Amino acid sequence: MDGKVALVTGANRGIGLETTAELARRGAIVLMCCRNQTRAEAAKAKILEWYGEGQPEVKSRNVASPEMAAILTPVKPEQLSIIRLNLCSSKSITSCANILCEVDATIDILINNAGIMACSYATTEDGIESQMGVNFLGHYHLTTLLLPCLLRSEYPARIVTISSVAQKPGQIPEELNMPKETYSPLQAYRNSKLATLILAKQLASYLDKQNIMSVSCHPGVVKTLIWRGKYKYFKDLGKPWMKSPWEGTQTTLYCVLATDLTNGGYYKNSKVKTCNPLADDTQVCERLWKWAEETTGVQFTKLLRGITNEPDESEASSHDQSEDQAGGDTDEDDDTDKEEDNDEESAEDSE
């Protein structure tokens, strides 16, 4: 990945931290987008302590095979840049994207990783229920504003959005901004993770012509602070079989590196899997997309057309129609995964 530029949201801990480290060990420059400067600096220091020049475990810590060790290189401090990003704030998202767009930055890999899970009711600075706000809307907003940087990639660019098996019972309700009165922490998480999966699918179809690939993935059930204080079952019993954060980044890495990726696919254990059928419902996807465009005030399709100089298809078709009227020319192995699919769910139920 020498010379490639990757952006990782939520890079300071858990799966995002390990993803950042793995990309940097493969030679990438990583933009660590984090909401807290101190935590981000500590994360950078940790990566350099693990894999920096002269560290004893550079080629032995978290290495899948001896062949792998041969291609890993020590991480240099200048490979890791910190950019402030709070996905709860459209101001912060805009400022993060501006920093990159103003210097005509190129982004080859975008990892939409940051997330919150099953938390008490809260809203973003912009008044959106926080799980839908951070997990879906914040990433929609960021990805849209970063389009010019992604389109500059010569590789071409790839977008990996972290969803979850929790998307399976997810819904895209009429009222997308879940009100406090009917708020369910778990259902809000499920809905937000289905929305992030749809984000990845929609990006794949809109950006296909530009050769940009977009996929979503489930990292597994991973021992990270996302579970903190939530489910006793995971804390007391689950530890031995839960994945480590390094194991949890393997499917993300696969999605970054694989040469035979299915555009728009949902990946789990490095294989494309079936997902919630709502993600194939055009009306549902369009409703979600329209809500994201209206709520953020940032219109993905318009922005894309502006950059690529493509005509507005809706205008073109209404033009064709008026000319007509004027008489002119006229999965596969999903069963084996069922047990694991239920992991998050059973933990939730067991509380």
Ligand X SMILES: NC(=O)c1ccc[n+]([C@@H]2O[C@H](COP(=O)([O-])OP(=O)(O)OC[C@H]3O[C@@H](n4cnc5c(N)ncnc54)[C@H](OP(=O)(O)O)[C@@H]3O)[C@@H](O)[C@H]2O)c1
Which are the catalytic amino acids? 189
Piece of the chain touching ligand X by CB under 6 A; list 66-74, 97-105, 110-118, 330-338: 110-118
Q: What are phi and psi of 44, to 5 degrees?
A: -60, -45
Query: Residue 261 Cβ, how far from ligand X at the closest point, in Å?
Result: 19
Q: Which is nearer to ligand X, 153 or 202 (CB)?
A: 202
Among 5, 7, 8, 10, binds ligand X (CB under 6 A): 10
Residues between 204 and 263 that touch ligand X (CB under 6 A): 218-219, 221-222, 224-226
Query: Residue 144 Cβ, how far from ligand X at the closest point, in Å?
Result: 17
Query: Residue 132 Cβ, how far from ligand X at the closest point, in Å?
Result: 12
Rule CB under 6 A: say whether 115 interacts with ligand X: yes
CA distance 215 to 225: 25
Q: List 214's β-bridge partners, or say none.
A: 159
First to last CA, the chain: 42
Query: Residue 87 Cβ, how far from ligand X at the closest point, in Å?
Result: 4
Among 14, 52, 170, 265, binds ligand X (CB under 6 A): 14
What number of CA atoms fall less than 13 Å from residue 230's CA on the CB side? 21
Q: Which is nearer to ligand X, 29 or 118 (CB)?
A: 118
Among 87, 109, 215, 278, binds ligand X (CB under 6 A): 87
CA distance 285 to 273: 19
Q: Which is nearer to ligand X, 108 or 341 (CB)?
A: 341
Q: Which is nearer to ligand X, 73 or 244 (CB)?
A: 244
Among 29, 96, 114, 285, binds ligand X (CB under 6 A): 114
CA distance 300 to 141: 9
Placement of tokens 């420059």 in the chain: 29
Q: Which is nearer to ligand X, 151 or 227 (CB)?
A: 227
Count of all residues that appear for the chain in the document: 351
Rule CB under 6 A: say whether 161 interacts with ligand X: no
Chain-centroid distance of CA 176 in Å reads 19
Piece of the chain touching ligand X by CB under 6 A; list 7-15, 50-58, 61-69, 200-208: 7-15
Q: Give the 3-state secondary structure of residue 144.
A: helix
Whether cis (ω within 30° of 0) applies to the bond prior to 77 is no
Sign of the four-CA dihedral 317, 143, 75, 55 = negative
CA distances from 146 to 75, 90, 107, 161, 329 (A): 26, 14, 8, 14, 40
Give the type of residue at 233. Answer: Y
Among 26, 35, 44, 190, binds ligand X (CB under 6 A): 35
The strand pair at 266-268 and 271-273 is best described as: antiparallel
Placement of tokens 């001896």 in the chain: 66
Query: Residue 169 Cβ, how far from ligand X at the closest point, in Å?
Result: 14
Among 79, 113, 216, 251, binds ligand X (CB under 6 A): 113
* Site residues (vs ligand X, CB under 6 A): 9-10, 12-16, 35-36, 39, 85-88, 113-117, 134, 162, 164, 218-219, 221-222, 224-226
